[in-house]
Structure 1
Amino acid sequence: GLLSEATFGDPARQRTDMYDAAILITNLAPDDPGEMIGVLEAVRAKPVGGLLIAARSLSPAVAGLLHANSVPGRFPIVVVKTPVHGQRGAIDDLAVLTGGRPFLKEAGDSLRRFFSNDFGQARTAWVTRQQFGLIGGQGDPQAVRRHTETLRGSHRSAGDKDARRDSLQRLGTLQGTSATLWIGANSDLEAKNRLAAAGRAAQTLRLALRDGVVPGGGVALLHGQDAMSERLKSSGDEMEEAALRIVIDALRAPAEALLINCGYEPAPVIAGIRRRGAPTGYDVIAGCFGDMHAMGLVDPARVVATAARTAVRGAALALTIDVIVHTRTTEVSTSPE
C-alpha cells in the first residue's frame, strides 16, 4: 500500500490512478534527495503518464521532493512499500512483469546510477491506502512465460504448505486474474465460518482449474478398482497382493460411505454404477444414475489423487510395521489440499 501520505494523489478518493506509468523497483530505502534527481530527470524524458516507486522506505526529505514534482491528475508520483513477506520474490515478479530492472541492496545498487531504460512500465497502475496493482505490464512475454513455468515447477516440488501457498499467490499475480468476495453475516462467528468456507471453495476451484476434475461422489475411485483388479490377477507376489486388496477396498469406501449416509443400500447402487461404466455415477439427492460431469458432480483431480496416495501409503505402512496405534478420535481435515 501507500508508503508516504505526501505522495498520495487524491486523498478524497483514497486512490491514485496512472496511465502509461513508469515503475521504479527497489528494496533500497532512499534517504537523500540527491539520489532521486537522476530518477526524476530520467522519467521526465519518457512519454509516460506518471511514476510509481516501489521501495522499502522513504525519508521525509525524499518524500517532500517527490511531492513537489508530483502533479495530481497530470503526472502523479506515488510511492508504495515493497512487500515485506517474500520480498525478493515479489520484486523479481514485478521486474519480470513490467520489464524493469530491480535495484537491490544485496547487489550494491545505487539510484544515483539510474537510467531511463531501467524503468518498468504498465498500461495502468493504481494505488490505494492498503494496496497497489498493475494492469498490462510491459515486460517481455517470453520472459513472463519462462518465469511462470519456473514458479509452477517450484509449486509442484514444494513440500511445505506455506511455500505452495506463496508460489500460488505469485502465480496468480503474474497471470493477472483476481476476484473480490464480499462476505457479510449477522455475527462475527458466522462471518468467520463463511470466510473459512469461501477460502476452501476458492482453493478447491483453484485446484480444479489447474489439474482438472473427475467424476465426484467417489465414482472416480470406484472405477479405479478395475485397474487394480487386473494388476492383482497378474501379481505373483504375496505382499503385493495383500497391498492391492487393501487399496481395492479403500477405493470402494468413499462411495459406499456416501450412499449409507444418505440412506441407500450400497451394494445394488455400486453394482449399477460399475455396470454402466465411467463417467456414470449416482445422484443421491435426485436418486438416479447419470453422467457425473453433466450433473455437475465432480471433484478436483488433485484432491482425489491425494486421497488415493494416502490409501497406498497406509497400506504400505500396515505391511511394514508390527504395531499400529489408532487414535480414538480421527483428525478431520477441511483443507482441499
Structure 2
Amino acid sequence: MQLKIGIDKAVVAAVDAITARSRAVNTHEEILQVASIAANDPANDSNIGATVAEALEKVGKDGAITIEEGNTSETAVDIVEGMQFDRGFLSPNFVTDMQAQVVEFANPYILINTEKISTVTDLVPIMEKAMQLGRPLFIIAEDIEGEALSTLVVNKLRGNLQVAAVKSPGFGDRRKEMLEDIAILTGGQVISEETGIRLENIVVGMLGTARRVVVDKDNTTIVDGSGAKESVEGRVAQIRTQIEETASEYDQEKLEERLAKLAGGVAVVNVGAATEVEMKEKKARFEDALAATRAAVEEGIVPGGGIALLRAAASLSDLELAGDQETGINIIRRSLLSPVRAIAENAGMEGSVVVAKVQEGEGNYGFNAATSEYGDMLEEGVVDPTKVVRSALQNASSIAGLLLTTETLITEIEEPPDADAAAADPHAGHFH
C-alpha cells in the first residue's frame, strides 16, 4: 500500500509539471502538426493533418466533424446541414460498430418525442412500420425506461430492427426549443401531448430523416437532415432575432449555442482510397488525428517525443518520502524516461545515450526521431496533446496501482494444440 501511495504522489507531481509546460493551440500550423503526428505522418505526405485542420477551420473548434468512407480515391471535406448535441446512447447494446463503440445509421427515421416513454405499446406501431420499410429507427425522448427500453434492446439484439435511443438535449423550455430545432432540421414533427399528438397515433410522415446519424456514449451527430432549407434558414433567423431582443446574458449565451448547432453545420470528411484495405487503414488514421486534435484544442500541447514526460521527472526531486513510498517515486521516475528511450531505439539509436543527451539539455530540447537530430521540439513541430500525455500517465499508474493492491488474479490458460501437450499439462484449459 505504501508503494502505491508513493506512485500516486509522484503522478500528481508529474501531471502538475506537464500541465505547467502546456501551451494553448492557437494557429493553423499547430493544429496541422498535432493532426499529422497523430496520423503517423509527421511530414503530412498523406495530407491527413491538412484535411483535419481544414475541417476544423470550416466548422470551428467546437464544431461537429464526422469521418466517412468516400466513393472515390480522393479525400474531400464537405459542409452539410447537421447538428451535434451532448447525449449518448441509452444502452451499449445499441452499438453497431463494436470496435469504435458507436451507433451508425444510414438514412434512419427519427422519432422526436417530448415525454418519457415507459410502455412498449406506445412504440409498437412505429417499430412495426420501420421494420416493414427496412429502415433504422432513431428515437429522441425525455427518457426511455422499463419495458420500452428492454424491448428496443431485444429487437436490436435479435436483428429484427436497427434501433437506438438517446435522451433529449437541454432542460426545461430550452429542451422543447432544441427538439423543435432538430425537427426542423430533419423534416419531422415534435410528438407531444401538448400539441394533441399522441405517440401511439403517429404516422411515418411525422418522423424526421437524415442521411446519417452517429451516436457514441457522449454525443449524437445528425448529418444532412432532410428538412427544407427555407425552414432551417427561417429558424436560424428567428434565433438571431431572439438573441438581439433578449436582455439576459445567460439566455443570450444559450441562444447562441443553439444558433451555432443549427447554423454551423457538420463537416464531413469523405476519405478516399483505391482499395477497401487502404480505406479502413486511412479512415482509422483520420479518426486518430481528429481525436488528438480535439484533445489539443481542449487542453493545449506540450513538446513531443516524450520530452514533456522526461522533464516532468525532475519535479519528483521535490518529494521527500522514505521507504516503499520512495520506491514508488523511483518507479515513476524511471517510467517517465521510457518514452524517449523507446522512441530512440525504434529509430535505430541507443536509447540510454539519447536519454542522457536529452537530460543534459533544458526546456523543449529533445530528440526528433524523424530526422535523427536534436533540437527544440516545439520549433520543429514535434508536439503532443497535453490531454493525451496526462491521461496516458494517469491511466497507466491507475492500472498498475490496481494490480499492486489486488490479492488474486484469474487467467485462462489456452487449450494445448495436441494430445501430447495436454498430457504434459493436465490443468490446461482451466482457470488458475
Q: Provide the TM-score with structure 2 as the length reference.
A: 0.41
* Cα displacement (A) at 1:27: 3.0
Q: Equivalences for 1:209-288 in 2 at 5 Å?
A: 209-231=297-319, 234-236=320-322, 238-288=323-373
1:254-293 deviations in whole A, cap 9, x for unaligned? Answer: 1111101111112232222222212221112222222211
Name the residue aligned to 1:142.
Answer: 250
Note closer, same or farther for the CA distance 1:143–1:250 as it changes in structure 2 (3 Å cut): farther
Give the superposition deviation at 1:194: 1.5
Q: Do the aligned residues in 1 keep the contact of 2:364 with 2:376 (CA within 8 Å)? A: yes
Q: Return the match for 1:188 from 271, 276, 279.
A: 276
| In 2, Cα distance between equivalents of 1:215 and 1:175 | 36
Q: 1:311 to 1:199 in 2, by over 3 A?
A: closer
Q: Specify the SS of the correspondent of 1:214.
A: strand
CA pair 188-300 structure 1, distance change in 2 beyond 3 A: same
1:89 maps to 169
1:199 is the counterpart of 2:287: yes
Cα deviations by residue, 1:129-161 (Å, 9 ceiling, x for unpaired): 662385755364734746999xxxxxxxxxxxx
CA distance in 1, matches of 2:412, 2:260: 39
Q: What is the CA distance between 1:111 and its match in structure 2?
A: 5.8
Q: Is the 8 A contact 1:96 1:144 kept in 2?
A: no
Residue 183 and residue 99 in structure 1: after superposition, are their counterparts in 2 closer, same or farther (change >3 A)? closer
What's the secondary structure of 2:391's corresponding residue? helix
Matches within 5 A, 1:154-193: 173=261, 176=264, 178-193=266-281
Partner SS, residue 290 of structure 1:
strand
| Aligned-partner Cα distance in 2 for 1:299–1:265 | 23
Report the secondary structure of 1:224's partner residue: helix
Q: Match for residue 298 of structure 1?
A: 383
The 2-side partners of 1:171 and 1:305 are apart by 34
CA drift of 1:189 comes to: 2.3
Q: How far, CA to CA, are the matches of 1:202 and 1:144 in structure 2?
A: 30
Q: Which runs of 5+ in 2 are unaligned?
A: 1-79, 82-110, 115-125, 127-137, 141-163, 198-208, 213-223, 244-248, 414-432
Higher-Rg structure is 1
Distance apart, 1:304 and its partner CA: 0.7
Task: Look up the match of 2:374.
Answer: 289
Measure how far apart 1:209 and its partner are: 1.0
* Deviation of the 1:98 alpha carbon: 8.5
- Aligned-residue Cα RMSD (Å) equals 4.5
2:367–2:374 CA contact under 8 A, matched in 1: yes
> 1:301 and 1:326 mapped to 2: Cα distance?
35
- Residues matched between the structures, number: 218
AA partner of residue 289 (structure 2): A
Which residue of the partner structure matches residue 296 of structure 2? 208
Counterpart code for 1:95:
E
Secondary structure, aligned partner of 2:330:
helix
Instruction: Check 1:276–1:203 CA distance in 2 against 1; reply closer, same or farther (3 A cut).
Output: same
Report the AA paired with residue 282 of structure 1: F
Deviation at 1:90, TM superposition (A): 7.8
TM-score, normalising length: structure 1: 0.52
- Name the CA shift for 1:297/1:177 in 2 (closer, same or farther; >3 Å): farther
CA distance in 1, matches of 2:260, 2:281: 25
**Identity over the aligned pairs, expressed in percent?**
25
Match of residue 27 from structure 1: 113
Greater displacement, 87-96 / 258-267: 87-96
Tell me if structure 2 keeps the 8 A contact 1:204–1:300. Answer: yes
Query: Is the alpha carbon distance of 1:251 and 1:177 closer, same or farther for their aligned partners in structure 2, counting shifts above 3 Å?
Result: farther
1:312 has 2:397 as partner: yes
